[in-house]
Chain A
């Protein structure tokens, strides 16, 4: 298995809702990442997990809450989002060793209404 799987593919939520995005990989990668991508912009790093521990939080608002239950799973819990949080949310994974590239999922298209 050489893929990163993200669910759901599309999500519409109200500003008072609580929802979660899910990411899964079975490549044995020990680093996992959340990126946010607005239309016609490059992906921006949000969080990095290394060996199931949060290692980087790029000053992301607390309404985004990441979780890494095990080495294969990464969740992003969403609560009280704003319309400007609407974006494509991408998950990625990589080996810890520096000489390997990143593998990205197909993303979750989030719309906040």
Chain B
């Protein structure tokens, strides 16, 4: 059974720090891995999508890496800002019962203070 774990569960940092959020998954037979951002009470915003054949993706101050064989992904946030405060969710897409499923980790709650 596919399980997704995110560490740390919560993180509070001063503005300007570089951050690393970790995600691990138990079954390496994934199609892709997606990082989302969620503000309180809101929907999910896709940040980065890494295909199973890729090693990393970058968007602005965000960089996500994928090591499929070890079942790990990291999200790197450079020069953090208060506006980055949100919950970051890692999700893996995989085949289950002949259909594509997306399963989430519990998330990392990030607070960036001025």
Contacts and interface: CB of A to CB of B under 8 A. Distances in A.
A69 interface: no
B89 interface: yes
Contacts, number: 64
A101 interface: yes
Interface residues on B, range: 20 to 34
Interface in A75-113: 88, 90, 92, 94, 96, 98-107, 109
A5 to B, nearest CB: 11
Interface in B39-66: 41-46, 49, 51
Contacts of B43: 6, 90, 104-107
A99 B100 CA distance: 11
A98 B101 CA distance: 10
Contacts of B93: 98, 101-102
Contact of A96 (B44, B46, B100, B104): B100
A61 interface: no
The 10 closest A-B pairs by CB, nearest first: A106-B43, A42-B104, A98-B31, A101-B49, A104-B44, A107-B43, A55-B99, A101-B34, A104-B43, A42-B106
Interface of A: 6, 31, 33, 41-45, 48, 50, 55-56, 88, 90, 92, 94, 96, 98-107, 109
